[in-house]
Amino acid sequence: MMRLSGKLRSAMIIGGQGIRARKLRTLLSMVSLFLGVLAVVVVQAGAGIAERLQLADLELQVGKDGTKALYLPSVTGAGQAVVDTVNGRTDAVGLLTTSAVIGEPQVRPINEGGSPFDQNWGGSSQICDNTGKCYDPNAGRPQGQAIELRITALTGDVRDFRPYRPRSGQWLDFSTTPMLAPRLVLNEEAAKGFERYHVPAEMRVNGANADMTPQFIGVVKDGDSQPHAYVRLDELTNWMPLSRLTDPNSGYSETQVVMAGSTPVEPVLIAKLKGLGAPDVAVETINSRKEMKEQLNLLRMIFLAMAGLVLVIGAAGVLNVGLATVGERVEEFALRRAVGTPRLVLAGIVLAETLLTGLFTAGAAIGVSVAALKAASILLGPSEPFLQGVEFPWSAGVSGVIAGLVAGVLGGFIPAIRAAGIPIATVMRA
Amino acid sequence: MTELIRLTGISKVLKGQKEPRTILDGVDLTVRAGESVAIVGRSGSGKSTLLSVLGLFDRPDSGTYLLEDRDISRLPERHAAQLRSSHFGFVFQRFFLLKHLTAAQNVAMALINGQGWQPRRERKARVMRALEQVGIEHLARNRPAKMSGGEQQRVAIARALVREPRILLADEPTGALDTETGSIVIDALQEATTRGCALILVTHDRDHAARMGRILDLQAGVLSERTLSPAGGPTMVLPQIGGPAA
């Protein structure tokens, strides 16, 4: 272990003695600094938590950066073109999403419109086709034991592009023979619904020839707050024609293709869609993580600037107290010089006091932040899911310590120079 | 006896006023190890300035200052601080004890000065030894507020002695004390000379000055050696200055 030099040790010991001798003054300095350091810690912690929450779910929802996404235009035969092009490939996956209801037939679902189970979206759901005609699919039906969810049929394993996190069970296996009873992987919200409500295992999909008996094989986190299920396309098309699944006029459907940054699928698919009469096919490269990070960083900078301002005001308080203290300790500093203390150590004593004050303040601010976050997590966690299990980001603690030290240097620098300049003759003339 | 200090032609002029004022005018002085020297003179005669120059608080405008044959007349502050720590001990009229520290901590202050580092145990032993030398080791844990003036001044002397200095500079150390207590303080200072430490005492007190080996009179910046007549009689000024006591 590196041993501290005599000068540094002396400065730290005398600084510590100074703090003990002036506890109230140190406390007042800490109070003036506390808000500034707390602001820095809170901004950093808030930004860290927001970034973690936002970025973590963003990748699940829209895909990894660099992934290309193509939304299918409303042209007849587009769905078939997609399936023909991407089927069996690993560098491109088609996602054909529609609505499904699992449970009692001919009833109004518990979460009408596929809403999250703890949020009531209210009113009846309206479906509008691309001609603008809207209707309530559950009009006149009684409330029953059924759950409505979005169901996405996949042509292949999408996890290379959207890294869904397994929670239990298993993911879809595309290497086996398709089964007649479609195997479903639920997201966490859907799993919550099926755990809470016991509904008959009967699934209806808009446009299907008959109701199906689904099998739940696993649960994943997909970043979606609505109930959602994933199924192999070939298991779903056992029960309904592809044309109905991708019917642009159904009002339910949405087809998307996600693919690697450079794949021959892209030009082939675009050419096929243009051949079907699609006027304009847009391919979007996912860059959301970077964009989100930039936005968060901008926000963080704005808030940090404000926190910095509060910190400077706090440092001015420390400076004020420091100057007053040096003024009162002229004889002490002159005497210390007389007994051989170098000017540098005198400056070090004052800086050690303000730095220790800054460190104590940082410790207090970090402690308060950790306790507040813990309390918020315990008290508000049940109603605010983003607060559940949230942990204090220790990078914010490091920022707080740095802020405390910077404020200590800012507040102690001028008093330190003053202290170092006190003439020894002061003790002779006293 | 070993020669510790030799001042030759030391002058100090106070500037910054309408007319520069000469405070020290060609002072010559030699001090040897174990010697005790009293510097007397009227207020404003330059005694404290001379002590400042001797203690490296201030630099002379001209002249030569030899400390153990080393010229330190123009020493940079960094080195001056080292020498103050290693060679000098200071006792002032006011005790300058830090009220938030105990007697032992006040003495240890001279050891925790950024000039080297001693382990806590060694530091404590030296502090206790210094307090013993001035006879107040039993007050080690007391704070200044609980001590008498004489005790406080003895703590200040212990602080000056703790680094075992070669030269002890005392500026009116009994000025704030009654005669009896002042005498005890002078005893403590003189005790140090028996261990080879030179003592330079600035005082107005004739009795205390008389107890020193030599008496030097500073008048208008000029130093001369003299003897005091008993019971405050006329003073005989000796022409020779700077030499050891006769």
Q: What is the DSSP string of B70-99?
A: EE-TT--HHHHHHHHHHHEEEE-SS----T
Q: What is the pLDDT of residue B116?
A: 80
Is A373 domain-assigned?
yes
Is A94 domain-assigned?
yes
> Average pLDDT over chain A, rounded to whole?
87
> Between A10, A331, A338, which is nearest B112 by CB?
A10
| Domain shared by A160 and A32, yes or no | no
Is B225 domain-assigned?
yes
B234 vs chain A: nearest CA distance in angstroms?
30
Q: Among B96, B107, B157, which would you mutate to test the A interface (most chain A Cβ atoms within 10 Å of its Cβ)? A: B96
- The answer, yes or no, to whether residue A427 has pLDDT greater than 50, is yes
Between chains, do B113 and A340 touch, taking CB under 8 Å as contact? yes
| Domain shared by A139 and A27, yes or no | no
Q: Among A335, A344, A349, A350, which would you mutate to test the B interface (most chain B Cβ atoms within 10 Å of its Cβ)? A: A335
| Domain shared by A231 and A207, yes or no | yes
B chain contacts of residue A430, beta-carbon cutoff 8 Å = 92-94, 96
| Domain shared by A255 and A387, yes or no | no
Q: How close are the terminal C-alpha atoms of chain A, in Å?
A: 44
B43–chain A Cβ distance below 8 A for any pair: no
Q: Which pLDDT band holds residue A357 (cuts at 50, 70, 90)?
A: very high
Rg (CA), chain A: 32
B81 vs chain A: nearest CA distance in angstroms?
4
| Domain shared by A54 and A72, yes or no | no
Residues 116-175 of B with CB under 8 A from A: 116-117, 159, 163, 171
- Chain B: residue nearest A427 by CA? B92
B58 vs chain A: nearest CA distance in angstroms?
8
Is A231 domain-assigned?
yes
Q: What is the pLDDT of residue B245?
A: 38
Q: Which pLDDT band holds residue A249 (cuts at 50, 70, 90)?
A: low
Could you identify the residue written with the tokens 């936005």? A295
Is B139 domain-assigned?
no
| Domain shared by A259 and A340, yes or no | no
3-state secondary structure of B24: strand
| Domain shared by A113 and A101, yes or no | yes
B184–chain A Cβ distance below 8 A for any pair: no
| Domain shared by A47 and A111, yes or no | no
- Chain B: residue nearest A422 by CA? B57
Is B207 domain-assigned?
yes
> Is the pTM above the cut of 0.80?
no
Instruction: Compute, in degrees rounded to 10, the torsion defined by CA atoms A377, A379, A385, A391.
Output: 0
Average pLDDT, integer, range A355-378:
91
Give the end of a domain, one of A221, A252, A286: A286
Is B190 domain-assigned?
yes
Between chains, do B112 and A14 touch, taking CB under 8 Å as contact? yes
Q: What is the pLDDT of residue A121?
A: 62
3-state SS of chain A: helix, strand, coil percent to 5?
A: 50, 15, 35
Instruction: Give every residue of chain B whose pLDDT is below 50, as ranges.
Output: 229-246
Is B110 domain-assigned?
no
| Domain shared by A250 and A333, yes or no | no
Is B20 domain-assigned?
yes
Interface size, chain A vs chain B, as Cβ–Cβ contacts under 8 Å = 92
Q: What is the pLDDT of residue B243?
A: 43
Domain of B192, in residue numbers: 3-96+164-238
A266-292 pLDDT, tens digit each: 889 889 888 888 877 888 898 877 788
Q: What angle do CA A203, A208, A212 make, to 5 degrees?
A: 30
B113–chain A Cβ distance below 8 A for any pair: yes
Number of independent structural domains in chain B: 1
Number of independent structural domains in chain A: 2
Between chains, do B100 and A17 touch, taking CB under 8 Å as contact? yes
| Domain shared by A281 and A294, yes or no | no
Tokens of B160: 């000056």
**C-alpha–C-alpha distance, residues A179 and A239, integer Å:** 11
Is B7 domain-assigned?
yes
Q: What is the pLDDT of residue A295?
A: 82
Residues of chain A with pLDDT > 70: what percent? 93
| Domain shared by A14 and A134, yes or no | no
Give the end of a domain, one of A242, A270, A286: A286
Q: What is the pLDDT of residue A76?
A: 78
Is A399 domain-assigned?
yes
Is B130 domain-assigned?
no
A339-356 pLDDT, tens digit each: 999 999 999 999 999 999
Find the CATH number of the domain harbouring B50. 3.40.50.300
Tokens of A95: 């996602």
Global ipTM: 0.86
Handedness of CA A283, A288, A291, A295 (dihedral sign): positive
| Domain shared by A23 and A158, yes or no | no
Is A35 domain-assigned?
yes
- Residue A190 CB neighbour total at 10 angstroms: 30
Domain of A208, in residue numbers: 68-286
B182 vs chain A: nearest CA distance in angstroms?
19
**C-alpha–C-alpha distance, residues A222 and A219, integer Å:** 9
Of A191 and A131, which is predicted with more confidence?
Answer: A191
B181 vs chain A: nearest CA distance in angstroms?
21
Give the end of a domain, one of A267, A286, A305: A286
B chain contacts of residue A331, beta-carbon cutoff 8 Å = 96
A chain contacts of residue B102, beta-carbon cutoff 8 Å = none
Between chains, do B114 and A11 touch, taking CB under 8 Å as contact? yes
B95–chain A Cβ distance below 8 A for any pair: no
A70-81 pLDDT, tens digit each: 988 777 788 888
